Structure 1
Amino acid sequence: MITLSEQPIGQLARDLPGATAVFHRFKLDFCCGGGQSLREVATRKGINLADVLEALSLLQQDTPDLDLLTRLDDQPLVEHILTRYHDVHREQLPELIRLAQRVERVHGGHPSCPAGLSAHLEEMAAELEAHMQKEEKILFPMITRGMAGMAVAPVQVMRHEHDDHGAALDKLLALTHDLTLPEGACNTWQALYRGLQTLRNDLMEHIHLENNVLFQRVDGQLGGEHHG
């Protein structure tokens, strides 16, 4: 039997109830790096593997939403992704851009000011919108109509773009000093970082559901080959 530490982190996120919350806490990438083992991801991040394993062993065996979602058929899963993530990102980003612009304008002289954050969020919003449009217009209709063979190439493209989104989230953390608020941060700054944390969690779960659940089904329908 393969130990937890040797299992792919994306598989653990998918199959172990509550694991995604643990991975969020340790800032471990379970969406883009989903094919790597837990040990590899933790080692690369410089995180003590024993601490992660202990947190996983303490998980309550209640079943969170993500665990239930992996059992949905393709059509309801796609519908969930559209309403829970695509629609939500379209609401989140314009507000976060406004908040970031205000913080940069008012606190530009502060050493902790996230200079360049609003421009980065605008770029993220544009790339995410283009990505979601491709999924909505091309890939998702293929999947829900059972056209797995035709979906292989678009899935490869989407996975590659997911890696780009992961890199954008890393840059977001770098610009905000790991979302660390300075002492006495104003309400706008606090709201911005809270919103960014929510966006980060949502986007990681969004990518995870697509990469490690929906897209893996496309791979599985083609004899289990992995095209990537």
Structure 2
Amino acid sequence: MKLIEKSLGQIVLSIPRSSALFRQYDIDFCCGGKQTLGRTVEKKGLDIELLENQLLELSEDTLEKDWREAPLSEIIDFIIVRYHDRHRAQLPELIIQAEKVERVHANKLAVPKRLTKYLEALYEELSSHMMKEERILFPMIKNGLGANAAAPISVMEQEHDDAGDILEIIKKITNNVTPPAEACTTWKVLYNGINELIDDLMIHINLENNLLFPRALAGE
């Protein structure tokens, strides 16, 4: 299958560092991971030849871990430790930093107004979501009941979309998470942390939406 015909989710799972490349082009490969590369490029008016060449260059590298071949229980354990636990550590610190930046720089035009509120909303959304996965969905999948989990999986996918919507608002009010020239150290550290969170969350959602859930529903 040609790259242009592959879904964004498939590409991220098979080509090292393609997720970082897609972030550069502001391409949503997690909640929008079922969209083909060709359709995405057409909608965004990008240069398909350039993007394909960049992806082909990346494809020469070796994946650190090919999760497409891993047992579902191993994928779940990895998601909890690498992403769930990480999000629980990231967001409280980002909320503290955002509150400080909004308070100290309240009189500056570039200050990301209401950023604290949206980070708190994301934390609340993800905390509830991850708890439901860990207590209900993941045990079902580990016990071989993934084929019967269509309803909870549908709910989880919708909640992924909801988290993605909050991320889009955060990106908008932070100028795509780009600190202004007058940004202090805390402001820069905050934006670095938000970019790391976005990267982590997009890869996390892609692993679930486009690998774990389809394989579980197929009865693996």
TM-score by length of 2: 0.94
Q: Which residue of 2 aligns with 1:45?
A: 44
Preserved contact between residue 148 and residue 218 of structure 1 (Cα < 8 Å): yes
Preserved contact between residue 26 and residue 52 of structure 1 (Cα < 8 Å): no
Q: Which residue of 1 aligns with 2:31?
A: 32
Q: 1:44 to 1:167 in 2, by over 3 A?
A: farther
C-alpha distance in structure 1 between counterparts of 2:82 and 2:111, whole Å: 31
Q: Which residue of 2 aligns with 1:54?
A: 53
Greater shift in the superposed pair: 99-108 or 164-173: 164-173
C-alpha distance in structure 2 between counterparts of 1:140 and 1:99, whole Å: 32
Q: Percent identity?
A: 42
Q: Which residue of 1 aligns with 2:162?
A: 164
Q: Superposition pairs for residues 8-23 of structure 1, below 5 Å?
A: 8-23=7-22
The two structures, once aligned, show a CA RMSD in angstroms of: 1.5
Deviation at 1:59, TM superposition (A): 1.2
Preserved contact between residue 115 and residue 173 of structure 2 (Cα < 8 Å): yes
Corresponding letter in the other structure for 1:178: N
Q: Which residue of 2 aligns with 1:225?
A: none
- The alignment partner of 1:58 has SS state of helix
Corresponding letter in the other structure for 2:139: P
TM-score by length of 1: 0.91
C-alpha distance in structure 1 between counterparts of 2:42 and 2:103, whole Å: 38
- The alignment partner of 2:218 has SS state of helix
Q: 1:96 to 1:156 in 2, by over 3 A?
A: same
Q: Which residue of 1 aligns with 2:150?
A: 152
Deviation at 1:167, TM superposition (A): 1.2
Q: Which residue of 2 aligns with 1:5?
A: 4
Preserved contact between residue 70 and residue 209 of structure 1 (Cα < 8 Å): no
Corresponding letter in the other structure for 2:60: Q
In structure 1, runs of 5+ residues without a counterpart are: 223-228
Deviation at 1:87, TM superposition (A): 0.3
- The alignment partner of 1:24 has SS state of helix
Q: Which has the higher contact order (CA 8 A, sep 6+)?
A: 2
Preserved contact between residue 147 and residue 218 of structure 2 (Cα < 8 Å): no
In structure 2, runs of 5+ residues without a counterpart are: none
Deviation at 1:53, TM superposition (A): 1.3
Q: Which residue of 2 aligns with 1:85?
A: 83
Deviation at 1:71, TM superposition (A): 2.2
Q: Superposition pairs for residues 185-204 of structure 1, below 5 Å?
A: 185-204=183-202
Corresponding letter in the other structure for 2:131: Q
Q: Superposition pairs for residues 172-183 of structure 1, below 5 Å?
A: 172-183=170-181
Q: What per-residue deviation string (whole Å, max 9, x for no partner) do you get for residues 135-174 of structure 1?
A: 0000000001101232111111111111111111111100
Q: What per-residue deviation string (whole Å, max 9, x for no partner) do you get for residues 122-145 of structure 1?
A: 010001000001100000000011
- The alignment partner of 1:221 has SS state of coil
Preserved contact between residue 8 and residue 36 of structure 2 (Cα < 8 Å): yes
* Number of matched pairs: 220
Corresponding letter in the other structure for 2:132: K
C-alpha distance in structure 2 between counterparts of 1:35 and 1:60, whole Å: 20
Greater shift in the superposed pair: 11-20 or 205-214: 11-20
